[in-house]
């Protein structure tokens, strides 16, 4: 029942994204630089909400555009109606619907759907991860120097030791390929599928990573904060890898040379 509702909600949001893509739609800007919200974001969120309210009207919701809709429930839906809004607004088909479901503080289910590539990633705690119903696994690389990584940059530069630009420079000066797709949810799913060996980012919100981090873990990977401690989507830092390069990447992000 819960899985059915999650997939139905994800597909409903994706249908709205496809309807608006490369069309004419309104764009406004939220607080900060390059922080747009489009008419499609609101339409996708509305479609997702309609499914949840029909199936589970008493569940707690946390969504990027509407914030918290507090209910007295052990279940919380954590929603990004379009992860990769800037990509979407510019006609770049690297964007997705991302929905995670938390039960009593533990992520139990997640779905990430990019309708333009027709890629639906899904995971349930303890049951593995899939891409279009086929089991996926993380990669087997054992060294950062031989890895392909992905990252993202906050639009407001973080002036802190070992910030996004410093870590990026250190890696690329060593010849490590580091990509930037513009969607953290897709980044995480591509780690889960073995396309990337690791992902790190300095500043994410819960809706960016809630579904994706579970998908990585269920694909056999490892996800932590920058200290290497248990990951929580309610703090900003994330390192997600195949597990084999994890400790090395944690050290590099924290300033170590390699």
Q: Give the pLDDT of residue 67.
A: 87
The percentage of the chain sitting over the pLDDT mark of 90, rounded to a whole number, equals 85
Answer whether 202's CB lies under 8 Å from 151's CB: no
Dist CA 93 CA 215 (whole Å): 21
H helix or E strand, kind and range, residue 8: helix 2-20
Radius of gyration of the chain (CA): 17
Flag whether pLDDT at 37 surpasses 90: no
Q: What digits encode the pLDDT tens for the residues 111-160?
A: 999 999 999 999 999 999 999 999 999 999 999 999 999 999 987 777 88
* Weakest-pLDDT range from 39-43, 121-125, 194-198, 224-228: 39-43
CATH 3.40.109.10 applies to domain 144-253 = no
Fold of 2-135: Fructose-1,6-Bisphosphatase; Chain A, domain 1 (3.30.540)
Dist CA 116 CA 15 (whole Å): 10
* Listed ranges 23-32, 64-73, 101-110; the one with the highest mean pLDDT: 101-110
Q: What digits encode the pLDDT tens for the residues 77-91?
A: 999 999 999 999 999
Q: Which of 48, 76, 46, 79 is nearest to 60 (CA)?
A: 76
Q: Give the pLDDT of residue 230.
A: 97
Q: Give the pLDDT of residue 218.
A: 98
* Weakest-pLDDT range from 22-36, 162-176, 190-204, 210-224: 22-36
Q: How many helices (H) and strands (E) does the chain have?
A: 7, 15
Grade residue 31 by pLDDT with cuts at 50, 70 and 90.
Answer: low
Q: Give the pLDDT of residue 156.
A: 76
Domain ranges of the chain: 2-135, 144-253
Flag whether pLDDT at 34 surpasses 70: no
Question: DSSP state, 104?
Answer: T
């Amino acid at each position: 029942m819960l899985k059915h509702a999650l997939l139905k909600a994800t597909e409903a949001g994706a249908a709205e994204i496809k309807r608006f893509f490369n069309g004419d739609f309104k764009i406004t800007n939220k607080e900060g630089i390059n922080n747009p919200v489009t008419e499609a974001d609101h339409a996708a969120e509305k479609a997702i909400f309609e499914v949840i309210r029909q199936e589970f009207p008493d569940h707690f919701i946390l969504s990027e555009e509407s914030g918290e809709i507090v209910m007295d429930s052990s279940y919380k839906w954590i929603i990004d109606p379009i992860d990769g809004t800037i990509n979407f607004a510019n006609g770049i088909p690297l964007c997705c619907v991302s929905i995670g479901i938390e039960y009593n503080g533990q992520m139990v289910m997640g779905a990430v759907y990019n309708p333009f590539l027709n890629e639906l990633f899904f995971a349930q705690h303890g049951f593995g991860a899939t891409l279009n119903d086929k089991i996926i696994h993380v990669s087997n690389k054992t060294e950062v120097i031989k890895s392909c990584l992905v990252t993202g940059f906050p639009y407001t530069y973080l002036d802190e030791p070992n910030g996004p630009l410093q870590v990026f420079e250190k890696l690329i000066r060593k010849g490590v390929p580091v990509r930037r797709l513009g969607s953290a949810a897709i980044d995480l799913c591509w780690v889960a599928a073995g396309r990337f060996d690791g992902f790190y980012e300095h500043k994410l919100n819960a809706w960016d990573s809630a579904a994706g981090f579970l998908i990585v873990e269920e694909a056999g990977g490892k996800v932590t904060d920058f200290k290497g401690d248990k990951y929580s989507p309610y703090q900003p830092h994330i390192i997600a890898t195949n597990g084999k390069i994890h400790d090395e990447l944690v050290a590099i992000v924290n300033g170590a040379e390699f």
